[in-house]
Structure 1
Amino acid sequence: MPSIRMHKKYDSLEPILTITNLTKKFGYLTAVKDLSFTINRGNVYGILGPNGSGKSTTLGIVLNVVNKTAGNFHWFDGNISTHDALKKVGAIIERPNFYPYMSAAQNLKLVCKIKGVDYQKINEKLEIVGLLDRKDSKFRTYSLGMKQRLAIASALLNDPEILILDEPTNGLDPQGIHQIREIIKKIAEKGTTILLASHLLDEVEKVCSHVVVLRKGVKLYAGRVDEMISSHGFFELKSTNETKLIAQLENHKSFSKIISKNNLITAFLNEPMKSEDLNEFLFKQDIILTHLVQRKESLEEQFLKLTDNS
């Protein structure tokens, strides 16, 4: 009878990976500079930054394939060697490397032998990535997206506590990107912690609960995605009496900044407010709005603010 793996409700503050003042230099180039952050259990983390920001170098260090210059990192509670900790980690940091003339199932059997995993896991993991019906097809017949999904299945064979993915959707078409993102969400829902590196803001916003923003190896932000975009947003407004409207907004405690440009007034909130409440308030001040739109700042807008100010 197959064993049933129970997923306990994890304490989200239980650390899986702790990075402290990590630095990596390649000659005169500092790829990672004094980097510190913690990955806690049960979340989906994105390391976000343009190419050359130090994402892959950071992953390489914690996976023991790149030597650090300074600083430290430790897995779990720190009482386990990196070698033993990595047995609980699944990672894809390079393009999948399978035998082209062998089927998906045959390739995964080899991985099972190397990892000491029961062959029973093969079908279970192929089903998660949507490849069970193509398990007997040769790897060379797979599309790029299918190859990437097979790599994820391979990384999941040992039931890792954390799955690490470096640019998992790179080079894929829109359908392939969507499939990988849905698989990541599905794996996370089962309790596996995920750490992915990406240069795509859209990817982090759609998939991740937490984000670490890097630029030139320096951390610009680390925290929850929803807190990064937790500004209360802003209103775009137009009125026939613009001067009176600006005066009312500037004297209102709910607004932090008012910008007037090309007859459009943008009023940034420092606390929550509904558009109907603003409309009612202004109407009572004899101000009639001809345009009222409420918007939230996107992760992209926040990211551009961070990188512009650094």
Structure 2
Amino acid sequence: METILSIKDLNKNYGKIQAVKNLSFDIIKGNIYGILGPNGSGKSTTLGIILNVVNRTSGSFSWFNGNISTHKALKKVGAIIERPNFYPYMTARQNLQLICQIKGVSYDKINDTLETVNLFERKDDKFRTYSLGMKQRLAIASALLNDPEILILDEPTNGLDPQGIHEIRQIIKKIAENGTTILLASHLLDEVEKVCTHVIVLQKGEKLYSGRVETMVASNGIIEIKTEENIENTINVLKNYHETASVNVDGDLIIVQLENDISSATLNKYLFENNITISHLVKRKPSLEQQFLDLTNN
């Protein structure tokens, strides 16, 4: 598997503030990576460093297995890290033609990129007539003009309405299906869970987790229980079960975190043998949100 980007022990200080702390991770070709964290966690600073618009304090990064310089590598990168800025009196096609001239690429991919972002039918409309979501989609189109191997997006759905968010997510998936590696920064858990294959969780510049999204949310499960019996007695019985990791109460539900993967029937049998009758028992996996909150203790 080809390593598109490798970051090693990266640090960035702004005076006494350390925005990025000993950050290391790899981006492997063909995946969708999400850098997840709240505002101020170091997401945008990290993207700025790898795109050579922010100077690092220490550490290193290399593109494409370190075989080419950063300057040459960035010609194979498409990126949007700020609010798109186009000429309002020019059409979408004219704006993209201008960007082609700046990047030194032909006009050949303009129609294809407009098709990809679902703007081909509006290609001859002036930019000022576009909605916020359409403007963001045109920005993505502009980043695809040089046929990049990796597309980098900083908060791609920020400020959009639900329809605009859905459109951007679908476009990101479509671009990835065509073989382009994606790296996006987001503070939206839902966005990362629905779009990304891998996630890097940052808090105050430090990496808390790096790996597949499905691995992060994988666990031995959580079982929700509702009973008409004495809740305190039920909790005590559950705490004495050898497969129980923790027991919490959420409203009228008892939430049991398991140590190992067991069936609902097995736990139900244990409760019945201890004279606990239940009216509700559902096994579920924890969400990315819950795992994120557990990681950050927030």
TM-score range, shorter chain: over 0.9
Structure 2 vs 1, CA of residues 238 and 37 (structure 1 numbering), >3 Å: closer, same or farther? same
| Structure 2 residue identity aligned to 1:219 | K
Runs of 5+ unmatched residues, structure 1: 1-10
Q: Is the 8 A contact 2:238 2:247 kept in 1?
A: no
Cα deviation 1:279-300 (Å, max 9, x = unaligned): 3554466542122122321111
Cα deviation 1:206-248 (Å, max 9, x = unaligned): 1111111111111111111111111232112133365367436
For the pair 1:65 / 2:53, whether they are aligned, the reply is yes
Q: Give the C-alpha shift of residue 301 in structure 1.
A: 1.2
Identity %: 67
The Cα RMSD (Å) is 2.0
Cα deviation 1:124-172 (Å, max 9, x = unaligned): 1100100000000011111111010001011011111100000101111
Q: Which residue number corresponds to residue 122 of structure 1?
A: 110
Moved more, 281-290 or 43-52: 281-290
| Structure 1 residue identity aligned to 2:164 | G
| Structure 1 residue identity aligned to 2:95 | N
Q: Which residue number corresponds to residue 181 of structure 2?
A: 193
Q: Give the C-alpha shift of residue 38 in structure 1.
A: 0.8
Structure 2 vs 1, CA of residues 19 and 277 (structure 1 numbering), >3 Å: closer, same or farther? same
Match of residue 76, structure 1, among 64, 71, 77: 64
For the pair 1:258 / 2:273, whether they are aligned, the reply is no
For the pair 1:87 / 2:75, whether they are aligned, the reply is yes
Q: Give the C-alpha shift of residue 112 in structure 1.
A: 1.7
Q: Which residue number corresponds to residue 113 of structure 1?
A: 101
Taking the aligned partners of 2:79 and 2:71, their CA distance within structure 1 comes to 14
Aligned pairs (5 A) from 1:21-32:
21-32=9-20
Cα deviation 1:31-70 (Å, max 9, x = unaligned): 1111111111111111111111111110000000111110
| Structure 1 residue identity aligned to 2:254 | I
Q: Is the 8 A contact 1:205 1:225 kept in 2?
A: yes
Q: Which residue number corresponds to residue 157 of structure 2?
A: 169
Cα deviation 1:83-136 (Å, max 9, x = unaligned): 000011000011112111111111111222222323221111100100000000
Q: Give the C-alpha shift of residue 28 in structure 1.
A: 1.6
Match of residue 247, structure 1, among 237, 246, 249: 237
Q: Is the 8 A contact 2:237 2:271 kept in 1?
A: no
Taking the aligned partners of 1:81 and 1:261, their CA distance within structure 2 comes to 54
Runs of 5+ unmatched residues, structure 2: none
For the pair 1:182 / 2:176, whether they are aligned, the reply is no
Q: Which residue number corresponds to residue 292 of structure 2?
A: 303
Q: How many residues align structurally?
A: 296
Which secondary structure state, in structure 2, belongs to the residue aligned with residue 163 of structure 1? Answer: strand
| Structure 1 residue identity aligned to 2:67 | N
Cα deviation 1:251-295 (Å, max 9, x = unaligned): 343x32234577643221233334345435544665421221223
For the pair 1:54 / 2:54, whether they are aligned, the reply is no
Q: Is the 8 A contact 1:245 1:287 kept in 2?
A: no
| Structure 1 residue identity aligned to 2:281 | L
Taking the aligned partners of 1:78 and 1:65, their CA distance within structure 2 comes to 19
| Structure 1 residue identity aligned to 2:154 | D
Q: Give the C-alpha shift of residue 27 in structure 1.
A: 1.5
Q: Which residue number corresponds to residue 5 of structure 1?
A: none
| Structure 2 residue identity aligned to 1:60 | G
Q: Is the 8 A contact 2:6 2:25 kept in 1?
A: yes
For the pair 1:104 / 2:103, whether they are aligned, the reply is no
Taking the aligned partners of 1:135 and 1:264, their CA distance within structure 2 comes to 54
TM-score by structure 2 length? Answer: 0.92
Taking the aligned partners of 2:57 and 2:147, their CA distance within structure 1 comes to 31
Q: Is the 8 A contact 1:43 1:194 kept in 2?
A: yes
Q: Which residue number corresponds to residue 30 of structure 2?
A: 42
| Structure 2 residue identity aligned to 1:120 | D
